[in-house]
Amino acid sequence: MTANLLVTSQFDKTVREYNGTTGAFVKVAASGGALGDPLGLALGLDGNLLVSDGQTNQVKQYDSTTGAFINVFASTNLAGPEGMTVYQGVLYVTNSNPPQGVQQFDAATGVNTGNFVPSLVNASPRDVKVNPANNRIYVLYYNAATVETFDLTTKASFGLLMPAGSPFGSGGLYTPSAMAFGPDGNLYISGGTFGGNLGVRRYDPTTGAFINFFANTGSDLYVPFGIAFGPDDNLYVATQNRANVMRFNYPTGNFMDFFVPDGSGGLAIPFHLTFAPFLRYTLHQECLNNIEDSGMRWQIEGGKVLENGKHVANYSSVKRVSCGTTEQNTAQLWMTLFFLGGKPPENMTLHGAHDFDSGDEIGSISAASAAFSAHIGKQFKRVANTLTIE
C-alpha cells in the first residue's frame, strides 16, 4: 500500500504528486482554475484535493484522479489563506492577513461556519492542526513564534501553548511555517534561523515545553517550510530555496535522504505538503469467540478502535473458516468500524482475508457511510493490533 506525497509548487502554480515509497514524480495533481499562489492543501471528504490560493483568497477544489479544476470550494472571509486541515467534517483554514485567525467551513459544502480569533495582534497565522488526543485546535503564529490553542466547540482560547517570541521563541523557534503531530503525540514545528539552527523542533502538546531540536536541515540552503509524517512514521520536510523534500528518521531525527531531489518533477518553491489520506487505528480486542458448525468454523471478534490513544469507534469482525480456505490456511474476513457520536453511526466495512500463518489481514473498503465514502476501494492491512487504511 502506498500513500503518495502531495506538495504545493508556488512558482509554477501547481500541486505535484510523488510516489510515497520511492519519491519518484508521478503527475501534476492540481493545476488551472486561475490558481495563483498554491500554499496549503488538504484532502476533502470526497477524496478530492483542496488547495488554498494566497493570491485569489480562495480554497479551490481539484479532481484527485485527473488534477483538473472543479470549483472554488470556499472563499468567505479568506485573506492570505495558507495552512489547512480537515477534521470530523470541518475544514479549518488559516488567514495570514486580516481578518487574521482561522476560518471554519463545512467540509462538505464549503459554507463558512465561524472563525477563531487570535489573542495576539498581527500574529500572522500560518498553519492549523487538530490534536485528537484533547480535541483542541492548534494555530501556529509566524510573527510571534508560538502556538495558540482553542476549544473546537466554543472557539474560546486556552491561551498560548508557549511564550510568544521576542523575537525568538521557545527552543530557538523563529518564523515558523508549519507543524505536525508525530507518532509520539508530540508537536513538531518547522522554523529557526540561519547559522545551523534551521529545522524542526519538538514540543510537549500539553505544556508547550521544548523537548528537543528534532531534525536539523543542516545548511542555510535548506530552509524548512511544510512538514508531514508519512505512513512509514518518518518526517518529511519541504525546503523552498532548493525545491526538495528531505526525509528524517523517526524516532532518531537523523537525516535519511532527499526523498524528492532538487526540482524533481518540476517542483519549484514548495510550501505545504501532505500524504494522500491514510488512516491508522489500534484495535483493542474485547471478545473472541469460535463457533463450530458443519462447514468448519466462524470466528467472531470485537472491541474498541483507538486513534492516537483516543477511543473513536468500536469494531465487529467475522472470519469464516471453511473447506475452501484450508489450503492457504486463511479465512474469509469482514469487519465493520462503528464510529462514536451518531445514531446510526458513521461506519466503514472492510472485506478481505485473514492469514493464520502470519496473523495479518489484508483487503479493501467495500462500503462506507457519507463521512468515510472517500475511502471506498482503498486497501487496508492489519498487522497485530494496528489497522492501516490507505
CA–CA gap between residue 188 and residue 180 (Å, rounded): 5
Predicted confidence at residue 326, as pLDDT, reads 85
Phi first, then psi: give them for residue 264, nearest 5 degrees.
-60, 135
pLDDT of 40 = 98
Centroid of chain to Cα 331 = 33
pLDDT, position 1: 44
Task: Per residue of the chain (390 residues), give pLDDT as tens.
Answer: 468 999 999 999 999 999 999 999 999 999 999 999 999 999 988 788 999 999 999 999 999 888 999 999 999 999 999 999 998 889 999 999 999 999 999 998 999 999 999 999 999 999 999 998 898 999 999 999 999 999 999 999 999 999 999 999 999 999 999 999 999 999 999 999 999 999 999 999 999 999 999 999 988 999 999 999 998 999 999 999 899 999 999 999 999 999 999 999 999 999 999 998 667 789 999 999 999 998 889 999 999 999 767 798 999 999 999 988 888 999 999 999 999 988 999 999 999 999 999 999 999 999 999 878 878 888 899 999 999 887
The rounded distance, in Å, linking the Cα atoms of 336 and 340 is 13
Structure-derived torsion over alpha carbons of residues 209, 212, 214, 216, reported in degrees to the nearest 10: 120
**Cis status, amide bond into 132, omega within 30 of 0:** no
